[in-house]
A and B are shown apart, each in its own frame.
Chain A
Amino acid sequence: MNTISFEWLLARRFLTENKGQTSIIVLGIAIGVAVMVFLTALIDGLQANLIQNTVGRSPHIVISSEENAAADALKTFDGEKVLLIDASQKTMRPIVEWRSLTNSLTGDSRIETVLPVVEGAGLIRHGQVNRSILLKGFDIRNGDRIYDISDSIIAGSQNVQEGAVLLGKDLAADLGVSAGEPIQLELSGREPLTVMIDGVFDLGVSSINQRWLIMDQRKAAALLGKGDRISTIEMQVYDVLEAENLAREWGTRLPDYQVKSWQESNASLLAALRSQSSSSYTIQVFVLLAVILGMASVLAISAVQKSKQIGILKAIGIRTGSVSRVFLYQGLVLGVAGTGLGFTMGLLMSQLFVVLAEQEYTLLVKPATAAIIISATVLASALSAYLPARQVSKIDPIEVIRNG
C-alpha cells in the first residue's frame, strides 16, 4: 500500500490553499537563510583575505634546525638585537642532507612549493650609512612561486637573471643605492666584499623590504662559507589551513628539525579569527532557531485551521502517521523553497555589498558552509513540523463530527 502520493497531494493543497500565509513563511525562512549566507560570506571572505595577506607571499611551513630556529625568532627584532644573531649563528646547525629532504618533501602531493634557503645576517655599508641585513639565498625561479620576486622588481632589469643580486626597496632607499651600483657587504666572520646590485624589489612587506638581500643559493652559500649546506627549507602548501597539521606530521618524521607552520607564528591572529567565527556561528544558530520557531508556529496554526479537514480524513480512514507526514512534507517544501530563495538572496546581497562598499576582497561562500546551511535549514524545517504533527495526532474525528 503506497499512500505517499496522496500525502504529497494533501500537503500541496494545504500549502496552495492559503498562498499568502505560505509566501510569508517562505519569505521568513528566506530572510533567515539570506542573513546566514551573507554573514558567512562576509566573515569567510574577510578571513580568507586576512589569511591571504598573511601567508600569500610567505612560506606556510619552515623547516630549520633547532638553533637556527632560535636565531630565526630574534631576526625580526631591531638592528641592535640582530647583532646577537651573528653570535648565535656560530652554533647554528645547518641542514646537510637537504637534497634528499627536499626530494621527499616534493613527493608530498599536499605540498606545492619546496624552497631550500641559505640564510645569514650581515651588514651593508654604503658611503656613511650602515644597515644590518638578512642575506637570503635561494633559486630565484623557484622562489618566485612563494615571493613572486620577478614581478616585484621596481628598478633594474625586469628579466631577473640566475645570478642576480636584489635589494629590498626600503633598504635601497636608506642606503641610497640603486640598481647597477656596488655596495660593501660584511657577513659575520667573513672578509668585507663588494657586490653589484642588479635590481631593487618591492614585496609589499616592509620587514622584507627593509632587510632582505636576495641572491642565488650557491652564491650565498659561498659568501657565507656554508659549502653545500643550507639554513632552512621554506614551503607553501595547497591548503593553507592544513599547514599546521602538515607541519606536525613532518615534525614527527623529522625529529632533528624544527618544523613550524604559519599558524604557530601567527597564533594571535588565528585566535582572533576563531573567536570571530564562533560569534558568527552563534548568530547563525540563533537565526536558525528563529526560523524553526517561526515555521513551527505557522505550521501549528495551519494544523489548527485544518483540524476539521483532518478530523474528517481520519473518520474516512487516514492514519495518524499519514497526517503527520503531510505536515512533515509541508515543512520540507517550505524549507526547500525558503532555503533556495534565501540562498539566492544571500548571494545577491553579498554581491551588492562588494559593489556598494567597494570591497577589495570577494565575499566567499565555501561549498562546505553552503552545504551546512542548506542541510541545517532543511532539517530544521522538517523538525519544526514535529509540533504540528503531534498536534494532528490528537485530533479526534468525533469532536469534529459532533461540532459540525
Chain B
Amino acid sequence: MADVLIRTAGITKDYGNKVKTRVLFGIDLEFCAGEFTVMLGASGSGKSTLLNILGALDRSTEGDVFVNNTNLNSLDDDGLALFRNQTMGFIFQSHFLLPQFTVLENVLIPHMIYADRVNPTIEKRALELLDMVGISHRRDNRANAISGGEQQRAAIARALINRPRIILADEPTGNLDTANTEKVFSLLQSINREFKTTFIMVTHNSELAQRSDRYLVMSDGRILEDKYLNVKCLE
C-alpha cells in the first residue's frame, strides 16, 4: 500500500456559540500520496468545512488530522501558518491574487513570506510555472489586469511555487466556462502526474469526478460514498 499522507480520525465540526450546529459528523478518511481525489456533494454538505480543516485553515471541534504523521492539533497558530506555507497549496473559486503585485510577484509571494530574498533559482521556477500554466506573457501585468481564466492559472502557479505535497482546490473551476474548466482541470491532472502532488478537489462537476483516481460524495456532514476509480493508492 502507498504511503498514507493524510489521515483524519473522527473529525467533527460545530458552528455557533450558544446554539451549536454540527456540520461534520465524525469523518474518518485516508489520503495517499499522489492521489487525485474529487469531492462531490450538495451545497452546505460540509465540503469546504472539511477541506479547510484538512488544509490547517481551520481547527476541528473534535478528532485529529494527521499529515505526514504530524497531528495538526499539536501546532500553534504560527506553526499552522508555516505548515500551510510549506506543505499546502490552495486554489479557490476566486483567484485571490493581490492586486498590488504583478503576476510574477504573486506567484513568488508564498516563497517571499518566509524567504529572505528572491534568488535566481526561485525566479526561474516561477517563470517555468507561468510557462506551464500558459501565461508567461502576463508575468509583468498587474494581477487585476488579466482575464479571469488567466488569474485562476496564476493562482495555480502560486499554489505550486513552494513545491507543496498537497493541493486543496475548492471549486477551482466554479467561476470558469467549459473551455477554461477543461484547461484548468487538465492542468491540475498533469501537475498531479508530473509532481506526484496529492490533490483534493471540490467540484459540482460529476464528469470531472469520473476522470479522477477517487471520488467522495458528502451529504449533511457525512461521507456518503467513497469510490476508487484507480487502484493506484491501494496497490
The chain A residues found within 8 Å of chain B, CB to CB, are 1-3, 5-6, 9-10, 13-14, 16-17, 308-309, 312-322, 397-398, 400-402, 404
CA distance A308 to B97 in the complex (A): 10
Nearest-CB residue, chain A, relative to B52? A398
Q: Find out whether the CB atom of B90 lies under 8 angstroms from the CB atom of A319.
A: no
Interface segment, B38-46, B78-86, B176-184, B197-205?
A: B78-86
Q: Find out whether the CB atom of B116 lies under 8 angstroms from the CB atom of A317.
A: no
Chain B 161-197 residues near chain A, CB threshold 8 A: 170
Q: Find out whether the CB atom of A5 lies under 8 angstroms from the CB atom of B116.
A: yes
Q: Find out whether the CB atom of B81 lies under 8 angstroms from the CB atom of A404.
A: no
Tell me if B226 is interfacial: C-beta within 8 Å of chain A.
Answer: no
CA distance A286 to B109 in the complex (A): 41
Q: Find out whether the CB atom of B57 lies under 8 angstroms from the CB atom of A316.
A: no
**13 interchain pairs, CB-CB under 8 A:** A1-B115, A5-B117, A6-B109, A309-B100, A314-B81, A315-B90, A318-B81, A319-B78, A319-B81, A320-B78, A320-B81, A401-B96, A404-B94
CA distance A375 to B116 in the complex (A): 30
A1, A317, A322, A398: the one contacting B58 at CB < 8 Å is A398
Chain B neighbourhood of A319, CB < 8 A: 77-78, 81-82
Q: Find out whether the CB atom of B109 lies under 8 angstroms from the CB atom of A313.
A: yes
**A1-B114, A397-B57 known; A316-B78 Cβ under 8 A:** no
Interface residue total, chain B, C-beta cutoff 8 A: 31
Output the residue of A6, A308, A321 with the most chain B CB within 10 A: A6
Chain A neighbourhood of B99, CB < 8 A: 17, 309
CA distance A400 to B92 in the complex (A): 11
Q: Find out whether the CB atom of B78 lies under 8 angstroms from the CB atom of A321.
A: yes
CA distance A319 to B79 in the complex (A): 9
Output the residue of A13, A316, A322 with the most chain B CB within 10 A: A316
B98, B112, B113, B115: the one contacting A309 at CB < 8 Å is B98
Nearest-CB residue, chain A, relative to B86? A317
B52, B85, B101, B116: the one contacting A316 at CB < 8 Å is B85
CB distance from B96 to the nearest CB of A (A): 4
Nearest-CB residue, chain A, relative to B94? A404
Q: Find out whether the CB atom of A404 lies under 8 angstroms from the CB atom of B109.
A: no
B57, B86, B93, B114: the one contacting A315 at CB < 8 Å is B57
Q: Find out whether the CB atom of B100 lies under 8 angstroms from the CB atom of A317.
A: no
Chain B neighbourhood of A400, CB < 8 A: 96
CA distance A316 to B96 in the complex (A): 11
Tell me if B158 is interfacial: C-beta within 8 Å of chain A.
Answer: yes
Q: Find out whether the CB atom of A402 lies under 8 angstroms from the CB atom of B48.
A: yes
Q: Find out whether the CB atom of A317 lies under 8 angstroms from the CB atom of B52.
A: no
CB distance from A92 to the nearest CB of B (A): 80
Q: Find out whether the CB atom of B57 lies under 8 angstroms from the CB atom of A398.
A: yes
CA distance A165 to B12 in the complex (A): 107
**A5-B116, A404-B93 known; A316-B109 Cβ under 8 A:** yes
Nearest-CB residue, chain A, relative to B117? A5
CB distance from B176 to the nearest CB of A (A): 14
Q: Which 10 A-B pairs have the closest CB atoms?
A: A317-B85, A13-B100, A312-B96, A6-B112, A2-B116, A404-B94, A317-B84, A319-B81, A317-B81, A319-B78
Chain B neighbourhood of A397, CB < 8 A: 57
Q: Find out whether the CB atom of A322 lies under 8 angstroms from the CB atom of B52.
A: no
Nearest-CB residue, chain A, relative to B49? A398
Chain A neighbourhood of B101, CB < 8 A: 13
CA distance A17 to B81 in the complex (A): 26
Tell me if B63 is interfacial: C-beta within 8 Å of chain A.
Answer: no
Q: Find out whether the CB atom of B92 lies under 8 angstroms from the CB atom of A401.
A: yes
Q: Find out whether the CB atom of A322 lies under 8 angstroms from the CB atom of B113.
A: yes
Contact with A along B108-129 (1 / 0, CB 8 A): 0110111111000000000000
Q: Find out whether the CB atom of A316 lies under 8 angstroms from the CB atom of B110.
A: yes
CA distance A189 to B221 in the complex (A): 118
Chain B neighbourhood of A402, CB < 8 A: 48
Chain B neighbourhood of A14, CB < 8 A: 100
Chain B neighbourhood of A6, CB < 8 A: 109, 112-113
Chain B neighbourhood of A2, CB < 8 A: 115-116
Chain A neighbourhood of B100, CB < 8 A: 10, 13-14, 16-17, 309
